[in-house]
Amino acid sequence: MSERPLTLEELTSAGEVEIPASMPILALPNGVLFPGAVLPLAVGGEPWVRLIDDAALGARFIGVFLRTTPGEEFDPTALAPVGCAAQIVRLMRQPDGSVQVLLQGRARITIEQLVSTAAYPVARVRVVPDLPPGPEAETLARTARVAFEEVVRLSPALPDQIAVIAANIPHPGTLADLITANLGLRPEEQQQVLATADLAERLRLVISLLERERQLLDIANRTREDMARSQREYVLRQQLETIKKELGETDERGAEIAELRQRLEAAGMPEPARREAERELARLERMPPGAAEYTVSRTYLDWLLGLPWNKSTPDNLDLERARRVLDEDHFDLEQIKERIVEFLAVRKLQFEQGDTEARSPILCFVGPPGVGKTSLGQSIARALERKFVRVSLGGIRDEADIRGFRRTYIGAIPGRIIQSVNSAGSNNPVLVLDEIDKISAGIQGDPAAALLELLDPAQNNTFVDRYLDVPFDMSRVLFVCTANQLDTIPGPLLDRMELLTLAGYTEQEKLQIARRYLIPRQVQANGLAPRRRTTEVAALPAETPASNLPDQEALQRGHAPELTDAALRRLVREYTLEAGVRDLERRIGTLYRKMATRRATGQPLPEQIDGPDLDELLGPPRRHGELILGEDEPGVVTGLAWTPAGGDVLLVEASVVPGNGQLILTGQLGDVMRESARAALTYARSRSRELGIPAESFQQCDLHVHVPAGAVPKDGPSAGITIASAMISALTGRKAHKRVAMTGEITLRGKVLPIGGLKEKLLAAQRVGVQTVLVPRENEPDLRDVPAETLAALEVVLVEHMDQVIPRVLYPPDTPEPVAG
Amino acid sequence: MSDPTRAIRVIALRQPFVAFEARAWRPPLNIYETEQALTLVVDLAGANPAELQVYVNPTLIVVRGTRQLVAPPGLRRIQRMEIGAGPFELEVPLATPVDPERASGRYSDGLLEIALPYASEPTTHLVVIQIEGGAR
């Protein structure tokens, strides 16, 4: 051979295989063979196996064409116009008679003419040669190569190796074929490339196919990444589940959710609340248990589902029974018991008429401490057989305490109202709002404003707690408020309530209460009631088998010393000073505690405790009625006052001292009282001649008015006539009767104006042993509320003017020396 | 006639890609490396050594030839066909340049052995070497 160096191209282009002019034709249903490509084929059934056999024995060439339409028979019109001459390079006969062949594409061909169709089609073919590539084809080939590399990089199916092979294929046409064969395209698309003889055009087609493929892969890859992430999460979750199971931790959360759903079904919530609960439950389900929100959501659902949406207790509408229960628990209080029975009667009628949605009234008990306001609420609940809950409003300054905190806050909880309804477990309890006069507006908003909605029967069927954020029907709750005074209750709130006043008890009432309620309770509380179970008591010889008798009867049998009326009266008069009976009960408690100590130490118990015994048991009395009032003297007049703790008796002192006509007021007097004192002074000056006051004393003397106790703030106009009387007494030197008490506002003309709290004041007057009380005539109607016992004990004088007051309170002007300080 | 769509089908390739091979077949070969030379051994049983053409370039060896397999007389049909036959061409690129002038070839027992001493100095000569030995 020649010594001339051959170029590489010359070397590799050598070795062309000659293509025979005619060859058998095989139609491929789903594949396209490219020149140079290798295609494994399984061929079965006649005449196709024969075709292969014959070809293998001969030139080993077959013309392979894509069949464009499906069908059984050989149909030359169904063949794609361009096919591939293929050589059989491997052959393997299978036991079932079919053959597997490995075909290698050699050249593009078209069918010139069918030569025979006898056994199988044989055709004369024409080779479609690849033309030498022009510069355009070369440029396009470079683009195709780069695009193919990108596709190979993106595709998980194509190995990097194929890109290397593509890079080493010099001929642009072959490159296009290789790329097409490897992209996994549909046969029709592959056929299109095969049929395109023009190199540049073929490459353009391939480039567009590559671009489409690149985009598809891009999307596929992104999808795969997402899938992989969720798949990973799923696997991890499964593993976690398995670990938990291995550790014996069962799927608590699933059970929890199921339980919540069950509760939701059973809760019988109204539609808005139900919707909210379902939404929250769905949220909870989606939440990972570790999320910070989880507990918040869980707690909220607990509250929401735990509320007594549809749970209520049936009212006992037996009026007689109710009356009996009320009587058992409280002495007297006629007005209130009547009101409660009325309420029951109305309920009963409504019930009989089938009206179950009837609204409950909102009652407010006003009175001094210890008169039984709260326990009346308990009694009402007992009479109606409703649940009893109590909310103490004393000291509440934050509106959120009533209405709840928004769920956005950490540690948010519902307000006290929802909390108490929840703890009642029924939606129609008796709810006592204690100390409603002790709420105060803080910087967090006014709690009273929140109560406005709650206590309005027209609105409270949709009471919305901030925490729950869904309306709860409060209209079936029987609200009972208690207060010591009314002036601190905001007007709008007061307006919504039905006021029932408990003024305090008279001495006689206190005796009854003590006998019926306090003594049995204290005997019981101090272990003096006979109980078989108590061994200490059982050991006593006095023990009788009748231990199941009521305590009172047991008492009468002498198990505990009896308190005589005289003793009780002393307790009320000398050891306690109160409108209610709390202190009285404490004193009785003290007595029986001492008895209990004696019994426990084996000392004999007295049969009864009489009045004089108290000195030994309780020490000297706190006070005597006499002691408070003391001797009559000039300048000291007895007044009556109203306090949140009931009525009180106070002494107004006035002294005249040398000076220059000033008025000195001491004793923590408020503005109204100071003005009242000025008015009293002006009245006294204006009437000085009639009253016998030396005119010059107003210029040369100072008048000092003092109201003990000096540490207690006092206010109000009702001491007007008392101050005036004290001034006149001091200025004239006439003694004042201390057993004459008075109350009434004074005008500059000396007229006596009405005052409030008469009942309390009269009760207080009776308590300290006042004989005569001067009362403004305009207060006459109020006397009807005053117990008969009190009226009998006091001489009540109705007055209209100071002229009627002075003769009653001051000694006659026969002792004219003025009192000097 | 049976359904050709069922009778003829493309077998899913075990290879991950469609192989392209321009040549009819390619005989397998070994390449040995010693201190002094490379040795190419080509499995060419049944080939006529006289018709083998071996071109030696410093970095490329090309072997061309034909293997004619003679079928038994009265052949009815082929059961199996695995041995490549017909014209072939083998191109072997070399990493280490060899000296074409000192290359030599030998055919024996169906194997073609080509000895390729390393080039001592760069050269671009192409040499066609003669194959010694064994007629079949």
pLDDT tens for each residue of B83-132: 888 888 888 888 888 888 888 888 988 899 999 998 887 776 777 777 77
| Mutation to test the B interface, candidates A60, A62, A164, most B Cβ within 10 Å | A60
A484 touches B at CB < 8 Å: no
Residue numbers in A near B67 (CB within 8 A): none
A424 touches B at CB < 8 Å: no
What spatial distance separates the first Cα and last Cα of chain B, rounded to whole Å? 47
Q: Are A474 and A360 in contact (CB under 8 A)?
A: no
User: Does residue B54 form part of some domain?
Assistant: yes
Determine whether the interchain pair A48/B3 forms a contact, defined as Cβ–Cβ distance below 8 Å.
Answer: no
Q: With the C-alpha atoms ordered A730, A736, A738, A744, is the resulting torsion angle positive or negative?
A: negative
A178 touches B at CB < 8 Å: yes
Nearest-by-Cβ selection for B10 from A31, A46, A162: A31
A5 touches B at CB < 8 Å: yes
A186 touches B at CB < 8 Å: no
A317 touches B at CB < 8 Å: no
Q: What's the gap between Cα A570 and its chain centre?
A: 52
Q: For residues B14 and A297, what is the distance between their CA atoms, to the nearest angstrom? A: 56
Q: Are A550 and A519 in contact (CB under 8 A)?
A: no
Nearest-by-Cβ selection for B8 from A15, A28, A162: A28
Apex CA A148: angle with CA A143 and CA A154, to 5°? 135
A76 touches B at CB < 8 Å: no
pLDDT at B113: 92
Nearest-by-Cβ selection for B126 from A5, A29, A87: A5
pLDDT at A108: 92
Residue numbers in B near A159 (CB within 8 A): 16-17
Nearest-by-Cβ selection for B78 from A41, A91, A178: A91
Residue numbers in A near B82 (CB within 8 A): 90-92
Q: For residues A425 and A54, what is the distance between their CA atoms, to the nearest angstrom? A: 97
- Show the DSSP H helices in A393-506 as ranges: 399-403, 416-424, 447-454, 491-495
Residue numbers in B near A56 (CB within 8 A): 77-78, 81
What are the tens digits of pLDDT across the range A48-81?
888 888 888 888 899 999 988 877 677 778 889 9
Apex CA A391: angle with CA A397 and CA A469, to 5°? 75
Q: For residues A788 and A521, what is the distance between their CA atoms, to the nearest angstrom? A: 28
Nearest residue to A797 via CA among A781, A769, A773: A773
Determine whether the interchain pair A56/B77 forms a contact, defined as Cβ–Cβ distance below 8 Å.
Answer: yes
Nearest-by-Cβ selection for A6 from B17, B19, B55: B55
Residue numbers in B near A193 (CB within 8 A): none
Q: Mind telling me the catalytic residues of A?
A: 718, 761
Shortest alpha-carbon distance between residue B16 and chain A (Å): 7
Apex CA A274: angle with CA A271 and CA A276, to 5°? 110
Shortest alpha-carbon distance between residue A218 and chain B (Å): 21
User: Does residue B9 form part of some domain?
Assistant: no
Residue numbers in A near B19 (CB within 8 A): 37-38
Nearest-by-Cβ selection for A41 from B5, B10, B24: B10
pLDDT at A635: 84
User: Does residue B5 form part of some domain?
Assistant: no
A57 touches B at CB < 8 Å: yes
Q: How many CB atoms lie within 10 A of CB A769?
A: 17
Q: Which residue of A has its CA nearest to B22?
A: A36
> pTM score, two decimals?
0.50
Those residues of chain A that have pLDDT short of 50 are 1-15, 531-558, 625-626, 818-821
A334 touches B at CB < 8 Å: no
User: Does residue B1 form part of some domain?
Assistant: no
Shortest alpha-carbon distance between residue B73 and chain A (Å): 12
Beta bridge mates, A362: A479
| Mutation to test the B interface, candidates A48, A68, A88, A94, most B Cβ within 10 Å | A48
pLDDT at A391: 87
Between the CA atoms of B68, B74, B78 and B79, what dihedral angle is there, to the nearest 10 degrees? -120
CATH of the domain at B121: 2.60.40.790
DSSP assignment of A270-308, as one string? -HHHHHHHHHHHHHHHHS-TTSHHHHHHHHHHHHHHHS-
Instruction: Kindly provide the ipTM of the predicted complex, given to two decimals.
Output: 0.74
Q: With the C-alpha atoms ordered A582, A585, A591, A597, is the resulting torsion angle positive or negative?
A: negative
User: Does residue B8 form part of some domain?
Assistant: no
Q: For residues A242 and A234, what is the distance between their CA atoms, to the nearest angstrom? A: 12
Q: Which residue of B has its CA nearest to A12?
A: B91
pLDDT at A15: 47
Nearest-by-Cβ selection for B77 from A26, A53, A178: A53
pLDDT at A641: 83
Determine whether the interchain pair B8/A88 forms a contact, defined as Cβ–Cβ distance below 8 Å.
Answer: no
Residue numbers in B near A98 (CB within 8 A): 7
What are the tens digits of pLDDT across the range A470-507?
888 888 888 888 888 887 888 888 888 888 887 777 77
Domain count, chain B: 1
Determine whether the interchain pair B2/A104 forms a contact, defined as Cβ–Cβ distance below 8 Å.
Answer: no
User: Does residue B2 form part of some domain?
Assistant: no
Shortest alpha-carbon distance between residue B97 and chain A (Å): 16
Determine whether the interchain pair B88/A15 forms a contact, defined as Cβ–Cβ distance below 8 Å.
Answer: yes
- The burial class, CB within 10 Å (0-12 / 13-18 / 19+), for A139 is middle
Q: For residues A280 and A465, what is the distance between their CA atoms, to the nearest angstrom? A: 17
Determine whether the interchain pair A11/B62 forms a contact, defined as Cβ–Cβ distance below 8 Å.
Answer: yes
Q: For residues A61 and A767, what is the distance between their CA atoms, to the nearest angstrom? A: 137
Map tokens 């010889």 to a residue.
A541
- What is the span of the domain harbouring residue B84? 18-132
Residue numbers in B near A104 (CB within 8 A): 21, 24
Shortest alpha-carbon distance between residue A86 and chain B (Å): 10
b/e A332-341 (16+ beta carbons within 10 angstroms → b) = bbeebbebbb
Q: For residues A656 and A799, what is the distance between their CA atoms, to the nearest angstrom? A: 27
**What residue type is assigned to position A617 of the chain?**
L
Nearest-by-Cβ selection for B78 from A4, A36, A56: A56
Determine whether the interchain pair A169/B20 forms a contact, defined as Cβ–Cβ distance below 8 Å.
Answer: yes
